[in-house]
Amino acid sequence: MPIEEKKKLIENPRSPSVQNSASDVPWAQLRIPSFPQISIRILQLANNDTAPMRRLSDLISSDAGFSSEVLTLANSPLYARRTSVTTVNQAIALIGTEALKGLCLTVGVRAYLGKALKQESIRAVWRHSLACALIAEQIASAANTDKDSAYTAGILHDIGRLGLSVLHPQHYASLLQSHIGDSHSLLESERALFGFDHCEAGFNLVADWNLPPEFESVVSRHHSPPQDTGPWTMLDLIGLSCRMADATGFSVFPGCESPSYPELFQQLPPREQKSFYPDVHILAFDIANKINALETN
């Protein structure tokens, strides 16, 4: 690529004239906008078991707009609290630190996508992340495991897509609209367009944004084939939740070819099968209602 072309892409990565040149620019030179720092700092502080809750409350309250959105979601039907949550301290006490991490990341993702959410294809990325998080939360509840950590991992699993959506919203939207195949086949098209796929981008963003390293496997390997042996892990949970989100109508692209829901249901461990949704229509209805609650608040 000529030097002037490369410089143009780095300085203005959204320019339509550089669509075919994106793959020639190394990752280190791409200026992917930073995720909202307050969300990252909240996640890091909440992961510190020795940090006092007062510090977490002060951090959230330091940004009036952010704390307002957090309180709005805390009072939404998604959390179904009998009493109104009027302060951040009250939110922490009633919802809990782990749930608050997921809630703050939800606010952060919506803010990060910003105007790109006006494009239906990018909006589908947002809804898929929400659907994956909500399904993961439900599966974890059925398994009597940490549902809040599952929700947080689900929200973060596609951060690579978020980066691509913000870096090249029009180009990525066009790819999503035109692609036909399974989710794994989309990775090849992403590599052809950008030089890397969203799983590779996610792995890099975990480091670039100083996210906890525990999310590396979730963001980089959630499209890996399911393991037939070994203990049920968070990666297994998120990978299956991602495929279930596709099967319930919350795929990232309209031409997504997904396994059938009954086939995916059989991939759940026996204990989870007993407590999870056997009917895809009931699950889809429940997830749609929760996403609507999040989007209208």
Query: What pLDDT sits at residue 190?
Result: 93
End-to-end C-alpha distance for the chain, whole angstroms: 46
At the topology level of CATH, where does 32-295 sit?
Hypothetical protein af1432 (1.10.3210)
Residue 194's CB is within 10 A of a number of other CB atoms, namely: 23
Residues 258-278 have pLDDT tens digits of 999 999 999 998 889 999 999
Cβ-proximal residues to 233 (8 Å cutoff; 6+ apart), any chain: none
| Position with higher pLDDT, 21 vs 210 | 210
- Are 19 and 28 in contact by the 8 Å Cβ rule? The answer is no
Query: Confidence class of residue 32 from pLDDT cuts 50, 70 and 90?
Result: confident
Query: Confidence class of residue 175 from pLDDT cuts 50, 70 and 90?
Result: very high
Give 120's Cβ-side CA count (13 Å radius): 4
pLDDT of 179 > 70? The answer is yes
- Are 247 and 264 in contact by the 8 Å Cβ rule? The answer is yes
Query: What pLDDT sits at residue 22?
Result: 56
Query: What pLDDT sits at residue 25?
Result: 64
How far is it, in rounded angstroms, from Cα 163 to Cα 255?
22
How far is it, in rounded angstroms, from Cα 201 to Cα 279?
34
pLDDT of 13 > 50? The answer is no
Q: What angle do helix axes 97-113 and 37-46 make, rounded to 10 degrees?
A: 160
Mean pLDDT of the chain: 85
Residue 171's CB is within 10 A of a number of other CB atoms, namely: 21
| Position with higher pLDDT, 229 vs 96 | 96
Tokens matching residue 168 = 């090249």
- Are 162 and 109 in contact by the 8 Å Cβ rule? The answer is yes
The C-alpha angle 280, 237, 297, rounded to 5 degrees, equals 65
Residues 220-249 have pLDDT tens digits of 999 988 777 778 899 999 999 999 999 999
| Position with higher pLDDT, 249 vs 296 | 249
How far is it, in rounded angstroms, from Cα 278 to Cα 262?
8
pLDDT of 163 > 80? The answer is yes
Residue with tokens 């991992």: 153
Query: What pLDDT sits at residue 28?
Result: 61
Alpha-carbon distances, residue 50 vs 53, 83, 134, 152, 238 (angstroms): 9, 29, 28, 20, 28
How far is it, in rounded angstroms, from Cα 20 to Cα 156?
28
pLDDT of 90 > 60? The answer is yes
Residue 61's CB is within 10 A of a number of other CB atoms, namely: 15
- Are 155 and 109 in contact by the 8 Å Cβ rule? The answer is yes
Query: What pLDDT sits at residue 248?
Result: 96
How far is it, in rounded angstroms, from Cα 122 to Cα 115?
10
Query: What pLDDT sits at residue 80?
Result: 66
Q: What is the DSSP letter of 25?
A: S
Residues 106-157 have pLDDT tens digits of 999 988 888 888 889 899 999 999 999 999 999 998 888 889 999 999 999 9
